[in-house]
Amino acid sequence: MSTSFLTEKQVAISAVRRACLLTSSVFNKLVKNETLTKEDKSPVTVGDYAAQAVVNIILKRAFPDDPIVGEEDADDLKKDPALTKRVVELANEALQADLGLGEMAEWGIGPGPEKSAEELLGAIDQGNHVGGPLGRMWTLDPIDGTKGFLRGGQYAVCLALIIDGHVELGVIGCPNLPYDPSDPEGPRGCIFVAVRGQGAQQMTLSGANPAPVTIPEIAPGALNFLESVEAAHSDHSFNNRVSTSLNISRAPTRMDSQAKYCCLARGDGGVYLRMPTKAGYKEKIWDHASGNVLVEEAGGIVTDSRGLALNFGLGKTLGDNYGVIAARSDVHKKVLEAVQQARAAEEEEIAKAKA
């Protein structure tokens, strides 16, 4: 098997482009009662299900033996025939659309045949792999930042190839992200692609204007933090403490999804910092895999709050990693120190309060 991952890259881009087409179309047609509540109370929409079905079908067509670790499963969807009908319509629309640019039959990609409800529900459940340390596997977040998606903000379709616990390829589609950060009101929709050892790229959602991305040197005064919108997903007050200790005066940029990693990779914000808000939460591999290889290929470093690499070979979660810090290497060093000091100070305060 080739290690240039050329076919994998083209197939993953095609799958993400079709999923982005679908999610944009769902947003425009979104009806409130098409949002279900999963056990963990996070909103899951027809978009998440249909996008997972589309990506899995495209992946399985090209790589029938590759397992997929997907965020969603079809258990709840199967109980709702009306919702299933919508998912089938949307998925087929996206699978059959003519995307034009960038799709070549020789890659085994392009418009495919119509699929039945049974096939599409089955495709969603093909994302049931549990992960692990060995072999090839894909991980998929069909809509990362579901809350951002529902409020018309940032969200991302994230697909990554993991081999023996290491992320080798990542593709992130951001339908609502301006292509040019210096023109925030300009055209929206970007795809970010990174292959280990081959650099990182940004292109438009239609596959046009591919351009390399690298994290530029940012003057300390111009640095700012990229953090979740949701206060439940990352500890805003801890970030504030760290940015104050680093004399960062710019307000944080709050944004849902792995679009934060994409912004970091192109120098649009200098630090991604995500610290847990509750004991015991384990980050999911699909929330970080694509962003991890993207940032590293753009010249950055990604670790947890103890300076350890993220471990993608432990199953569906990042196991014992605690928090995530991503930045250009010079900035990362300073942030890691500041994070460790802030954690020590926090622990001291807790101990004092208990005494």
Question: Does 228 sit near ligand A3P (CB under 6 A)?
Answer: yes
**Considering only 50-58, 126-134, 142-150, 306-314, which stretch makes contact with ligand A3P by CB under 6 A?**
142-150
Question: How many H helices and E strands in the chain?
Answer: 10, 14
The 180-219 site mask, x for binding ligand A3P (CB under 6 A), equals: ----------------------------------------
C-beta atoms surrounding 214 within 10 Å:
14
67 versus 142: smaller Cβ distance to ligand A3P: 142
Question: Does 305 sit near ligand A3P (CB under 6 A)?
Answer: no
Binding partner of 93, given ligand A3P, Mg ion, none, CB within 5-8 angstroms per partner class: none
Of the candidate residues 8, 168, 287, 297, the single one contacting ligand A3P (CB under 6 A): 287
Counting Cβ atoms within 10 Å, is residue 285 exposed (0-12), middle (13-18) or buried (19+)? buried
Q: What's the CA gap between 48 and 26, in Å, rounded?
A: 10
**Considering only 137-145, 184-192, 244-252, 331-339, which stretch makes contact with ligand A3P by CB under 6 A?**
137-145
Catalytic one among 23, 84, 139, 146? Answer: 146
Is residue 161 helix, strand or coil?
A: strand
* Close Cβ partners of 219 (under 8 Å, ≥ 6 residues apart): none
Q: Which two tokens stand for residue 29?
A: 């047609």
Of the candidate residues 125, 144, 268, 296, the single one contacting ligand A3P (CB under 6 A): 144
Q: Which two tokens stand for residue 296?
A: 């590293």
What is the number of residues in the chain?
A: 355
40 versus 98: smaller Cβ distance to ligand A3P: 40
Q: What's the CA gap between 222 and 145, in Å, rounded?
A: 26
Q: What's the CA gap between 144 and 148, in Å, rounded?
A: 8
Closest approach, Cβ 150 to Mg ion, in A, equals 11
Query: Which residues lie near ligand A3P (CB under 6 A)?
Result: 42, 71, 141, 143-146, 148, 228, 230, 232-233, 256-257, 277-278, 281, 284, 287
